[in-house]
């Protein structure tokens, strides 16, 4: 791993830590208000996702026409401004949407820089390995950021928000130390027209469509599961503090980290079809989770769902980056990926907000989520062609 990839991992860890700390700080702020309805927390999550969908035509070209470390620097400053709005008691839905704006700018630069830094001539699996490392660092940040953010917010919301702002500023500084000034090309033509033209080019093959829709499915399910635990845990496990709920999400995060590290060995890029098996298992584990009423059984189920999730999302992320890097540019590919996955997450959050507002049992919702994951995986993998690795192995035989 080169020093610059290490710097990318460092800034990503700090940023993701702050992202998750500020989420649980905002949830703590909301839960302290007795007059807030059950729809508000899903709506809070949805407010974060709006920018990913609305500004998707612009963020990809923004990342590809500027040095990506500079883009990461600017995006973290916007996130810091959003956390500052929370500190000033501005409406959380608006403040968290500002943090989402920074995240939407940051993501194409974070993922788009990876295929530009790795050397696939030396190691054909280097992009998968880089994705494994960045997903693992992100999960480590989710683990620690969610738990520490919840703990500090329960003690003092002000201290938690000041710490989050400081972390975003530190991450901005680290981003500027990345020595990488490649500019893919200059922007030309209407952004929206170019965006949809790039989308058609990127999604012209079944492999690219599977990767794009598959990653959208994963994050939609993960988003609903995260906010669903806030409603499910008090009813089933008698757990009601944000710290205890953050501890539950920790097991999902540990599982994703484990799954991410297993990917280079189990699902290299030449065997992308294997990823669908992990998605089937993830859906099955979520269904099983709905029947569990013991906290340790719940933790084991959440760990297993995370492992399956990591095995599913890392290889399809790497495949999409590889396709994008070889066609429309890595930043543009990530922006399109973000559009689809966050549109899916936004719809999922909205549907869950409606479900929660109508008082549907969280256990039924949990089982339904697992079944939907299985059904959706069958649909998105229906026309997936045979893997290149399988074809090469067959020719050798």
| pLDDT reported for residue 390 | 47
| pLDDT reported for residue 394 | 46
Distance CA 119, CA 89 (A): 47
303 with 251: CB under 8 angstroms? Answer: yes
176 with 70: CB under 8 angstroms? Answer: yes
Q: Is residue 294 part of a domain?
A: yes
Query: How many residues would you count in the chain?
Result: 397
Residue 393 — pLDDT band, cuts 50, 70, 90? very low
CATH code at 274? 1.20.1250.20
Q: Is residue 122 part of a domain?
A: yes
Q: Is residue 394 part of a domain?
A: no
The CA distances from residue 251 to 225, 226, 289, 395, in Å, are: 13, 12, 13, 42
| pLDDT reported for residue 13 | 92
Q: Is residue 41 part of a domain?
A: yes
Quote the domain boundaries for residue 66.
Answer: 3-179+192-389
Residue 395 — pLDDT band, cuts 50, 70, 90? very low
Model confidence pLDDT, tens digit, residues 286-302 = 999 988 888 889 999 99
| pLDDT reported for residue 397 | 45
Q: Is residue 186 part of a domain?
A: no
Angle at which helices 92-112 and 295-325 pack, to 10 degrees?
50
Counting the structural domains of the chain, the total is 1
Give residue 30's region: left, alpha or beta (phi > 0; psi -120 to 50).
alpha
| pLDDT reported for residue 396 | 45
Q: Is residue 98 part of a domain?
A: yes
Angle at which helices 242-266 and 3-31 pack, to 10 degrees?
150
Q: Is residue 96 part of a domain?
A: yes
Burial group, residue 265, by CB count within 10 angstroms (0-12, 13-18, 19+): exposed
Average pLDDT of the chain is 81
C-alpha 46 chain-centroid distance: 14
Model confidence pLDDT, tens digit, residues 3-58 = 888 888 899 899 999 998 998 898 888 877 766 666 777 788 788 888 878 887 78
Model confidence pLDDT, tens digit, residues 136-174 = 787 778 778 888 888 898 889 999 999 999 999 999 999
| pLDDT reported for residue 174 | 92
Model confidence pLDDT, tens digit, residues 89-117 = 898 899 999 999 999 888 888 777 777 77
Distant-in-sequence, close-in-space partners of 82: CB < 8 Å, separation ≥ 6: 22, 95, 96, 97, 98, 99, 100, 101, 102
Give one DSSP letter per residue of 350-363, joined into a string: HHHHHHHHTT--HH
Arithmetic mean of pLDDT, 209-231 = 83
Q: Is residue 185 part of a domain?
A: no
Distance CA 323, CA 208 (A): 7
């Amino acid at each position: 791993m080169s020093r610059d990839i290490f710097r990318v991992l460092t800034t990503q860890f700090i940023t993701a830590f702050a992202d998750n700390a500020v989420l649980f700080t905002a949830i703590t702020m909301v839960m302290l208000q007795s007059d807030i309805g059950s729809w508000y927390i899903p709506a809070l999550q949805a407010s974060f996702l709006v920018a990913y969908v609305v500004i998707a035509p612009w963020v990809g070209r923004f990342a590809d026409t500027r040095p990506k470390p500079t883009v990461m620097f600017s995006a973290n400053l916007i996130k810091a401004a959003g956390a500052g709005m929370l500190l000033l008691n501005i409406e959380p839905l608006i403040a968290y949407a500002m943090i989402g704006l920074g995240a939407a700018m940051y993501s194409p630069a974070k993922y788009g820089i990876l295929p530009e830094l790795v050397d696939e001539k030396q190691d054909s699996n280097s992009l998968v390995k880089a994705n494994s490392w960045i997903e693992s660092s992100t999960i480590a940040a989710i683990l620690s950021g969610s738990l520490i953010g919840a703990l500090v917010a329960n003690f003092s919301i002000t201290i938690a928000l000041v710490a989050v702002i400081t972390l975003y500023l530190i991450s901005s500084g680290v981003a500027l130390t990345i020595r990488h000034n490649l500019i893919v090309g200059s922007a030309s033509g209407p952004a929206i027209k170019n965006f949809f033209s790039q989308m058609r080019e990127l999604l012209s093959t079944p492999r690219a469509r599977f990767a794009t829709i598959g990653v959208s499915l994963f994050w939609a399910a993960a988003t609903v599961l995260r906010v669903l635990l806030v409603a499910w845990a008090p009813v089933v496990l008698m757990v009601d503090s944000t710290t205890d709920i953050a501890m539950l999400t920790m097991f999902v995060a540990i599982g994703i980290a484990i799954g991410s590290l297993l990917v280079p060995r189990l699902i290299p890029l030449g065997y992308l079809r294997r990823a669908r098996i992990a998605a089937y298992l993830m859906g099955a584990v979520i269904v099983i989770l709905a029947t569990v009423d013991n906290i340790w059984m719940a933790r084991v189920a959440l760990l297993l769902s995370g492992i399956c999730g990591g095995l599913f999302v890392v290889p399809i992320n790497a495949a999409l980056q590889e396709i994008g890097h070889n066609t429309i540019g890595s930043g543009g590919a990530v922006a399109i990926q973000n559009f689809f996955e966050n549109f899916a997450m936004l719809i999922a959050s909205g549907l869950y907000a409606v479900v929660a507002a109508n008082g549907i049992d969280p256990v039924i919702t949990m089982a339904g989520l697992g079944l939907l994951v299985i059904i959706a995986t069958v649909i998105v993998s229906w026309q997936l062609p045979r893997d290149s690795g399988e074809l090469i192995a067959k020719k050798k035989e």
